[in-house]
A and B are shown apart, each in its own frame.
Chain A
Amino acid sequence: MGETAVLQSTEEILDRYADMVLRTAYTMVKNRHDAEDIAQDVFVSLMRANPTFESAEHQKAWLLRVTINRCKSFLTSSWQRKTQGLEEALPADVSCTPTERTVVDAVNALPLKYRQVIYLYYIEGYATAEIARLLNLPLNTVLSQMARARKLLKKTLKGEWDNV
C-alpha cells in the first residue's frame, strides 16, 4: 500500500483494478456473470464521475466502496429478490485445487456481512479499522463479524482457520 501515484490512464486503471473489482463483486453476488456486469458498471461510473483522488489508496477505496454499494443495490433490487439468483462456485475455467475450491465455496456460503469482511481482510489486506471505515460500520461490529465468520468457517471446514 505504499504506492501513492493516482492512475489516470484508462488502460492502467483497468489493468490495476479489474481483478480486484471483479473479485469483490463476485464475493458479494456469488455469480461471475453478474459480477462482471457490476464491475463494468463501476469502471464506467469512474470515468463519468471523474473524481480527483488524493492517492492510489484513495482511488482503490473509492472503487471498493462503489463496488460494494452496487452489489448491495443489485442484491436488494426487486428483480433479484423475485428471481432466485444463480449462485455458482468458482467458475470451471478457474483452475483451483480441490482445497482452494472448498475454502472459497465455504466463504461464499457465509452470510453477506461476514463474507465481505473476510474478503477485505484476507484478500485486500485491510485492517479491521480500515474495513470499518470502508463499510461505514463501527469497529466493534467489524471485529464481531470477523470472529463469527471465522467461527462459522472453522465449523464448516472442520479445521484451523486463522487465529489472527
Chain B
Amino acid sequence: MFEQEYRQGMEKLSASAQWRTDTLQKMQQARQASSAPGQPAPAPGKRPLRVSPRAALLCAAAVVALLVVPLGQWQGLWTGASTATLSEADAAPARVMTAEDTAGADTDDPRMAIAPQADMPTQESAEAAPEQATGGTGAAAEDVPLWQQGVLEELTDTGFYLREGTERTYYAITAQTDWGGASAQALEDCTVTVVYTQDADGLRTAVQVRADF
C-alpha cells in the first residue's frame, strides 16, 4: 500500500539537532520576555490583546462622540423638561379667587391666578369692540403668565392697547391689575412691561403693568 510508504517516508523527515538547539534557545528567550515583570498575564485560551496607538485613538474618539451626542441631547431634554415643568405648573387650572382671597394676596406675583371677572370681555367681544367688551363667559381664564414690552396706547375702561412695533394688542384689565402704584393714565404713551395671562381663547389679561424707565 502506498499509504504505508508515504507514512514511512514522512516519518523519516525529522528536525535536525542544530535546529532543535537553535529553536529551544529562541523559545526560552521568548518565554522569558513574555513572563517578564510588567507583562500582563494572558487570559486562558486567548492571546494577549495588543492595540495599536492608532486603534486606541480611534476608540477614544468614538467613545467621546458617543458620550457627547447623548449629553447634548440630554441637556436639551433637561432644558425642555424644565420649561415643560414650568409651563405645566403655570398652566395649572386657575383657582377661582374670591374677593376675600385676593384681598390679602401678593399682587406682585405675576403668576397669581386671576378670577374671571364679570366685566371681562370674551375673545369674540374683544375682537369686535375690545373697549366695549363686557360680560365674560364665566369660564376660568387659563393662567399662562407671560410678559410683553411695548407702548401703552389707548387706555379704555376695560383694558388698553399695547403697541409692539407695528402690532397693537389688546390687554384686558381687572380690578386686580397691578399698576405698580401709578395710575393707568400716568402710564399712557409710556413704554411698559405687561405681565399678563392668556386664556384658551387668546384673550390677554394684564396682571402687572410696570413702566420701563
Most buried by A among B2, B23, B35: B2
B50 → A minimal CB distance (Å) = 11
Q: Does A36 contact B (CB under 8 A)?
A: yes
Q: Is the interface of A mostly helix, strand, loop or mixed?
A: helix
Binds A, one of B5-13, B87-95, B104-112, B199-207: B5-13
Cβ 8 A contact of A90, one of B2, B13, B20, B47: B13
Interface size on B, residues (CB 8 A): 35
Contact A18 B9 (CB under 8 A): no
Query: Contacts A10-B27, A39-B15, A40-B22: A48 and B2 contacting too (C-beta < 8 A)?
Result: no
Contact A48 B33 (CB under 8 A): yes
Q: Is the interface of B mostly helix, strand, loop or mixed?
A: helix
Of residues 30 to 62 in B, which have CB atoms within 8 Å of A's CB atoms? 30-31, 33-35, 42-48
Across-interface contacts of B1 in A (CB, < 8 A) = 160-162
What are 28 inter-chain pairs, A to B, with CB distance below 8 A?
A10-B24, A10-B27, A13-B27, A18-B14, A18-B19, A19-B14, A22-B14, A23-B10, A23-B13, A39-B15, A39-B19, A43-B23, A43-B26, A44-B23, A47-B28, A47-B34, A48-B33, A50-B35, A91-B13, A96-B12, A97-B8, A100-B5, A100-B8, A103-B6, A123-B6, A159-B2, A161-B2, A162-B2
- By a beta-carbon cutoff of 8 Å, the part of chain B in contact with chain A is 1-3, 5-16, 19-20, 22-24, 26-28, 30-31, 33-35, 42-48
